[in-house]
Amino acid sequence: MTATTHPAVPAFSGPGIPLSRLVKVEFRKLVDTRASFWLAASIAIISVIIGVVTLFVAASSPDATALRNEFEMMTAPMAFLLPVMAILLVTSEWSQRSALATFTMEPRRERVIEAKLIVAIVASIIAVVIAFVLAAVFTGIGGLIYSDPEAGSWSISGGALASGVLNILLGVLVGFAFAALFLNTPAAIVTYFIIPMVLGIVGGLIPWTRDHLIDWIQTPTLPSDPEGADWAHLLVSTLIWFVVPMFFGVNRIMRSEIK
Q: What is the pLDDT of residues 200-256, one digit of tens each?
A: 899 889 888 988 899 899 999 888 777 888 899 999 999 999 999 999 999 999 998
pLDDT at 3: 47
Please classify residue 109 by burial: count the beta carbons closer than 10 Å to its beta carbon, then call 0-12 exposed, 13-18 middle and 19+ buried. middle
Is position 2 within any domain? no
* Kind plus residue range of the DSSP H or E element containing 54: helix 34-57
pLDDT at 80 over 50: yes
Buried b (16+ CB within 10 A) or exposed e, 113-150: bbbbbbbbeebbeebbeebbebbbebbebbbeebebeb
Look at residue 191 and tell me if it is in a domain.
yes
Q: Supply the pLDDT for residue 14.
A: 53
Residue 201 within a domain: yes
Q: Which domain holds residue 237?
A: 19-255
Is residue 106's pLDDT more than 80? Answer: yes
Nearest 5 degrees, angle CA 138-CA 140-CA 146? 95
For residue 8, is it within any domain?
Answer: no
State the amino acid at position 10 in one-letter form. P
* Helix pair angle (185-205, 158-182), 10° resolution: 120
Amino acid at 72: E
DSSP label at 11?
A: P
Position 10 pLDDT exceeds 50: no
Count of domains observed in the chain:
1
Q: Is residue 14 part of a domain?
A: no
Average pLDDT, the chain: 86
Per the CB < 8 A criterion, the answer to whether 53 and 142 are in contact is no
